[in-house]
Structure 1
Amino acid sequence: MLEISTVNNTHSKSIIDLILNIQQKEFNVPITIEDQPDLLQIDDFYFAKGGSFWGAFINGELVGTIALVKFDEKSGAIRKMFVKKEFRGKEHNIAQKLLETLISYCNENGIDELYLGTVSILKAALRFYERNHFTIINKESLPAKFPLMSADNVFCYLNITL
């Protein structure tokens, strides 16, 4: 049974294992834990600024993550949206449930605008965001305070008040 709950520094090891395996082994993205220090300081990086970090668990195993960086009064960035390969797709619907959890949090906390950066090779991820009404935007259209990740080369936007 799927359970989605907030995760924090106490979950760092399983979060890092999940994310690095997907980034490095599955998609060959040249990124390391050193490039993602936020994963070693989840409480300070996400929660302290008004964001959050969620994990999807099946029978106690972490199978997916999503995080929100609140970077402006009414704006947030989606980060760390990953689901283990064998748990992807409509059968489990984990990515959709993670995104809905994040959007509910935004609605409850006055965050109206969501942005995200991703990598162009993650074609299924881009299709997922487009199905959820995100619009692809130019890097130049990002707000000045948007927390850029060096690997990202595709950017999306969603106004969740519409």
Structure 2
Amino acid sequence: MPVPDEARIRAFRPGDEQGVIDLILPIQREEFGLAITAADQPDLRTVPAFYQTGRGAFLVAESGNRIVGTIGMKDIGEGNGGQGNGGQGNGGQGNGGQGNGGQGNGSARSGALRKMFVAADHRGSGSGLAGRLLHAVLDLARENGLHRIFLGTTDRFLAAHRFYEKHGFMPVPPADLPQSFPRMNVDTRFYRLDLPE
């Protein structure tokens, strides 16, 4: 099997939409058997408005004239990682109080990592493209002032689970996701990464 050309990572630009869809949909449908369409993922047709606003980004990896990798970072604002179940207390004279509300580590600017896909012929330790895409978008996240990254995936993406955990992401329960986190119906497993400041 020939070694694929080194893919160049760059920002998404107008005209990339169909190449992004042509990469992502077959992986979702054929490799993982997900009953999902482009219509179920309107962000694929509105990448600049959905991802490339605020502190977000969307990167593609291009080899020749073909998009062979994608990764998106959506700015989801002040995400505190869950709402918890604290509360107002009982309002007594000295022992009422606010409760801790399960707010985690205070408000931090958060991002949602989405749409990380690599073409089959560019996967594996030989190319390192998945790692390059992840590091590129995390570097941008740091530069743009994001401190906490969340992601969702399906139970079927076992290699993705290992990949994210290898890169420092920790599994979190759905209750620990910020309210602004954009969930997809197929997502059943969630992760969080705290970026060093």
What is the TM-score of this pair, normalised by structure 2?
A: 0.79
| Aligned equivalent of 1:96 | 131
Residue 81 (1) aligns with residue 121 (2): no
CA drift at 1:50: 2.9
CA drift at 1:60: 3.0
| Aligned equivalent of 1:124 | 159
| Structure 2 gaps, min length 5 | 1-5, 79-108
- Is residue 55–residue 146 contact of structure 2 (8 Å, CA) maintained in 1? no
Instruction: Look up the equivalent residue of 1:7 and give its one-letter code.
Output: F
- Is residue 55–residue 141 contact of structure 2 (8 Å, CA) maintained in 1? no
Measured in 2, the distance between the counterparts of 1:99 and 1:128 equals 10
* Residue from 49, 53, 60 that aligns with 2:54: 49
Instruction: Look up the equivalent residue of 1:28 and give its one-letter code.
Output: G
CA drift at 1:49: 3.5
CA drift at 1:37: 0.2
Cα RMSD, aligned residues only: 1.1
Measured in 1, the distance between the counterparts of 2:13 and 2:139 equals 19
Instruction: Look up the equivalent residue of 2:47 and give its one-letter code.
Output: I
CA drift at 1:115: 0.3
CA drift at 1:47: 1.1
- The 3-state SS of whatever aligns with 1:103 is helix
- Is residue 55–residue 145 contact of structure 2 (8 Å, CA) maintained in 1? no
Measured in 2, the distance between the counterparts of 1:105 and 1:138 equals 26
- The 3-state SS of whatever aligns with 2:171 is strand
User: Going by fraction, where is helix more abundant, 1 or 2?
Assistant: 1
Measured in 2, the distance between the counterparts of 1:9 and 1:36 equals 18
CA drift at 1:9: 3.5
- The 3-state SS of whatever aligns with 2:16 is helix
Measured in 2, the distance between the counterparts of 1:109 and 1:53 equals 13
1:73-123 deviation per Cα after TM superposition (whole angstroms, max 9, x unaligned): 410000000001121111000000000001110111100100000001000
What is the TM-score of this pair, normalised by structure 1?
A: 0.96
- Is residue 57–residue 63 contact of structure 1 (8 Å, CA) maintained in 2? yes
- The 3-state SS of whatever aligns with 2:75 is strand
CA drift at 1:8: 3.1
CA drift at 1:59: 2.5
| Aligned equivalent of 1:148 | 183
| Structure 1 gaps, min length 5 | none
Instruction: Look up the equivalent residue of 2:194 and give its one-letter code.
Output: N
